[in-house]
Amino acid sequence: MLVLLSKILLGVSLAGIVSIVLRKIPVMADLPEAAAPVLSTVFKRRARRIAPDFSGFSFEVFLQKSLSKIKIFVLRIEHKIDGQLRRIRRNKKEEKKDLGDDEYWDELKQEVEDEGS
C-alpha cells in the first residue's frame, strides 16, 4: 500500500515538473543568450529586492558563514559516527574476548588425555 502511494506521488510530482518545464520553454527561448546574468548577481539583486535595508550585504560573508555552519554540522555528524564505530569495535573485541575464555578446548584436551591413558 505504501509503495503504491509513493509511486503515485512520484508520478504526480514528475508530471508537475514536466508541465512546468513545458510551459517555461517558450519563455526561455525568447531570452537573449548574452543577457544571462551570473548566479551571484541574481542572488544579490533578489536579496536587495527582498530586504532593501541590507545595503551592506556581502555575498562572500554570507557564503563564508554558511559554509562554516555546514562544516560544523558535518564535523558533528562525523564525531557521532566515530563514536558509534568505537562502540561497535569495543563490543566486537569483548565478544572475541568472551569466546577466548571458553574452556571447551581445555576440557576436550583433558578428555583425550584421559582416554589415551
- pLDDT reported for residue 88: 94
Output 32 or 75, whichever has higher pLDDT: 75
Q: Where are the alpha helices (DSSP H) in the chain?
A: 2-30, 39-50, 59-100, 104-116
Q: What confidence tier does 24 reach under pLDDT thresholds 50, 70, 90?
A: confident
CA distance 52 to 5: 44
Q: What is the pLDDT of residues 44-69, one digit of tens each?
A: 777 666 665 556 667 888 899 999 99
- pLDDT reported for residue 75: 97
With beta carbons less than 8 A apart as the criterion, state whether 57 and 44 touch. Answer: yes
- pLDDT reported for residue 55: 61
Cα within 13 Å of Cα(106), Cβ side: 4
Residues 6 or more apart whose Cβ sits within 8 Å of residue 40: 59
The distance of Cα 30 from the centroid of its chain, to the nearest Å, equals: 38
- pLDDT reported for residue 83: 95
When pLDDT is averaged across residues 73-91 and rounded to a whole number, the result is: 96
- pLDDT reported for residue 78: 97
Residue with cell 563514536: 83
Other C-beta atoms within 10 Å of 72: how many?
10
Output 53 or 40, whichever has higher pLDDT: 40
- pLDDT reported for residue 117: 63
- Residue environment code for 9-33, b if the CB has 16+ CB neighbours within 10 A, otherwise e: eeeeeeeeeeeeeeeeeeeeeeeee
